[in-house]
Amino acid sequence: MNDDLKALIRTIPDFPKPGIQFRDITTLLLSPHGLATCVERMVAAVDGPVDLVAGVEARGFLFAAALAIPLKAGVLLIRKDGKLPGATIAEDYALEYGTDRIAIHADACAPGARVLLVDDLIATGGTARAAVRLLRKAGAVVEQAQFVVDLPDLGGAELLRAEGISVTSLVAFPGH
């Protein structure tokens, strides 16, 4: 069903290191029809009302804003630590070599707010799982996450599902 969108996503071999097949959505974003179709299909997959659409830095911001408008929701930015002014709450997560940290404004999410998590791609799920923990720490109700691309062989979507999150994606690519 989403082969039309899959065809708009460019694969760049050996980026950022040998053996990686980088799935580049910039080519999808360049297509007005592709971008509109992507947003329409993501909106159609939302289950029930949401108060906020949380986008993970940086490409997740694009989809969060685009989805928030038809969903009549606000946009919550999940940023790399140190990028937001004012009081924040943060969450650490593991990387292949080390750790990283994401943050939101401490007052960005009212307790009980229904939040849809959105990003362009899910691979191992480290960032997405940290985002769910962060949002829940803020009092959000997070039950849904959407991605344009899933790399199912890396298991991130399954790890999110194990945490009670309904995960949808538009396209999947084998490998990493």
Catalytic residue annotation = 59, 96
Integer Cα distance of 86 and 167 in angstroms: 32
From the number of C-beta atoms within 10 Å of its C-beta (0-12, 13-18, 19+), residue 124 rates as: middle
Please say whether the beta carbons of 54 and 116 come within 8 A: yes
- DSSP character at residue 56: E
Locate all alpha helices (DSSP H) within the chain, ordered by sequence: 3-6, 26-29, 32-44, 59-71, 126-137, 156-162
